[in-house]
Chains A and B, each alone.
Chain A
Amino acid sequence: MILNKSEVTNILDKLASEYRVIAPVEKNGMVEFAAIQKGEEAKLDYANSKKPGKEILFPQSEELFNYTVDAEGLRMEDKVDSQASIIFGMRPCDVKSWVLLDNVFKNDQYTDVYYLTRRANSLVVGLGCNEPASTCFCSSVACGPFAKEGSDIFLTDIGEAYVVEGISEKGKELLAKLGLSEAGAEATAAAAKLQAEVKADGTINIEGMAEKLSGMFEHPYWDSLHEKCIGCGACTYLCPTCHCFDIADEATDCDGCRVRNWDACMFPLFTLHGSGHNPRPTGKARWRQRLMHKFNYFVERYNATACVGCGRCIKNCPVNLDIRQALADIQALD
């Protein structure tokens, strides 16, 4: 199917009357995902959002429940968000990150109702990347500028229009309601050409990385890797697959709110015991943890690499640490 760019505003207006539409918008000179009321707010000609798409399902700060304790006892009210949403125009890397995070927020015993309820009520319209940035390396990590995994509907920008593909049943059902016209042979060919030809940096070889890292916990390589790192945690906050969080109470005497906030393995307090003991007391241990978690522990646990190659950690690192270099160095070790 085809969606002319001139019609996008109308379509979004129509969707916004029925769903919560979350789209990239420009705010304070940065692009972020936000709920829009009108189609014209959406900014689809963007490279990528500053903060990753994980925040749609797993906000940086989120209220879990409110509670009140008084003479009548205890009352709790949880704050599960079940509004039907359409995420419009998310990049394939961020879409893929949701697929990876699904592993984390549901395990054999427990379900994170907050994440999963939002997830179940979200429909994702992915948007392919015609011009991956120099920091993008999705083509190296089982993703790619036109990877469709996780999208319900997928858009390919062919200039004046988007070629629209229904991927999941949910996506196809929505498309049937929208009444878009069929794409002509020329448009389909243009989209196919882009999908076949556009690649991000694909030179990082992560094949066998998990196995290699398995024997490397004590390797001297870690001794110097972290030396430049100032432990700011930007890489983890902006990573679409990092999922660590803290839980805290914000309360007065009898009214309170349990909140969770993003947290990061790059901070020493993250693992500090009450006794003063810290299993990861050094920058070395924390850098090793970040890399190992993504390329070894996550693979062992969920059989997937926890990196989608979005390059945010590279682009936003204040000391120019580049995880691609670290991976290449590790591959080059004997």
Chain B
Amino acid sequence: MRNPYLPLPMKLVKNFTETSDKLIHTFTLEYQNEQDAENFKYEPGQFAELMVYGKGEAPFGIASSPTEKGILKFSVAKVGVVSTALHMLQEGTTVGVRGPLGNSYPLEQLKGKSLTIIGGGFAFTTLRSTIQYILDPANRGDYGDLTVIYGARNPGLLLYKDELAAWDARSDINLITTIDREVEGWNGRVGFIPTVTKEVAPKTDYAIICGPPVMIKFTMPVLVECGFTPERIIMSLENRMKCGIGMCGRCNVGSKYVCKDGPVFTKEQLDKLPNEY
């Protein structure tokens, strides 16, 4: 019997301060055992438990794409015991990773379809994974038009700034970035995600959305207005988790466990569940 509670050891090779408020770091990890690199097969949208020895473990969405071989990336906000410990780690430290956990964005089903990806704040990690995956030369041809709407409070809080610039320069992705308030030197849009989404009025086959609850709440009606039917709106949920394997009981929404049955659900699925997330 494989023990799902045992983490595999990985080496922290980069601890990068991602945002201007220094509260979000991106961690790049390398497998310590070659065999683990073979076995750790994940899809965009999945998460893993990151463990700091002596502190504990906590779940984070995987920000790297499976097309980026040999590494895993996580962008983590400094919030609790584990994330604070992570932020202070020196490069070269061994950490534990338990996963991949949960389901993923249905990228197989989305082949041949056009997509709008909407993200807010630092809930952009698994969306980055998805975008990287689709933009990979081996996969780009499998998908139609790609529109990305990404917003943060101010420019400094946007994640993956270098990559955003690189995506912006490409012709096979329509990137729209927005900030909440006008700032000098900012060339993107200004306004909240729901407003900007309304302006953009995306007309793609599917929409994938991930962000803080308040953003989801106000963007959802806009997507419906744009003509997205519930089974074509794909969301990723967050709930407090411990085991990550559907046993410890805390992340349920109705009879579904976010950790195991999710974190990815369609609006159609969520509409049938109690509004308790």
Contact = CB atoms under 8 A, between A and B. Distances in A.
Contacts of B141: none
B250 A271 contact: yes
B76 to A, nearest CB: 10
B6 interface: yes
A277 interface: yes
B6 A78 contact: yes
Interface string A109-132: 111111011000000000000000
Contacts of A243: 247-249
Contact of B4 (A112, A217, A279, A297): A112
B250 A265 contact: yes
Interface in B127-175: none
A251 B55 contact: yes
B55 A107 contact: no
A244 B245 contact: no
A238 to B, nearest CB: 16
A296 B255 contact: yes
Nearest to A264: B249
B16 interface: no
A245 B54 contact: no
Interface string A239-264: 00001111111011110101010010
Contacts of B56: 247-249
Nearest to A285: B276
Contacts of A73: 9, 32, 94
Interface stretch (B182-190, B193-201, B236-244): B236-244
A274 B80 contact: yes
B1 A116 contact: yes
B3 interface: yes
B9 A74 contact: yes
B40 interface: no
B5 interface: yes
Given A273-B240, A274-B83, A69 B94 contact: yes
Secondary structure of the A contact surface, majority rule: mixed
Interface string B111-140: 000000000000000000000000000000
Contacts of A273: 238-240
Contacts of A258: 5
A325 interface: no
Most B Cβ at <10 Å: residue of A110, A248, A277: A110
A272 B240 contact: yes
Nearest to B80: A274
Interface string A273-293: 111010110000100010011
Contacts of A245: 242-243, 247-249
B6 A76 contact: yes
A270 interface: yes
A280 B238 contact: no
Given A249-B56, A251-B53, A285-B276, A244 B250 contact: yes
Contacts of B254: 217, 292, 297, 300
A111 B79 contact: no
B3 A113 contact: yes
A104 interface: yes
A111 B2 contact: yes
A112 B276 contact: no
Contacts of B239: 271, 273, 279
Interface in A100-153: 104-105, 107, 109-114, 116-117
A35 interface: no
Given A111-B4, A265-B250, A273-B238, A247 B80 contact: no
Contacts of B253: 279
B6 A279 contact: no
B213 interface: yes
Contacts of B6: 65, 76, 78
Interface string B60-88: 00000000000000000101100100000
B53 A67 contact: yes
Contacts of B260: 107, 109-110
A273 B238 CA distance: 9
B53 A256 contact: yes
Contacts of A217: 254, 274, 276
Contact of A69 (B53, B57, B238, B246): B53
Contacts of A78: 3, 5-6
Contacts of A280: 276
Nearest to A267: B250
A298 B1 CA distance: 25
A67 B212 CA distance: 36
A256 B95 CA distance: 13
A64 interface: yes
Nearest 10 A-B pairs (CB), nearest first?
A244-B249, A274-B79, A251-B54, A297-B255, A300-B255, A110-B245, A249-B56, A217-B274, A110-B4, A113-B3
22 contacts: A69-B53, A74-B9, A74-B96, A107-B245, A109-B260, A110-B245, A113-B3, A113-B4, A116-B1, A217-B254, A244-B249, A245-B242, A247-B5, A248-B56, A249-B55, A251-B55, A260-B248, A263-B249, A270-B250, A271-B250, A289-B252, A297-B252
Interface of B: 1-7, 9, 32, 53-57, 77, 79-80, 83, 94, 96, 212-213, 238-240, 242-243, 245-255, 260, 274, 276-277
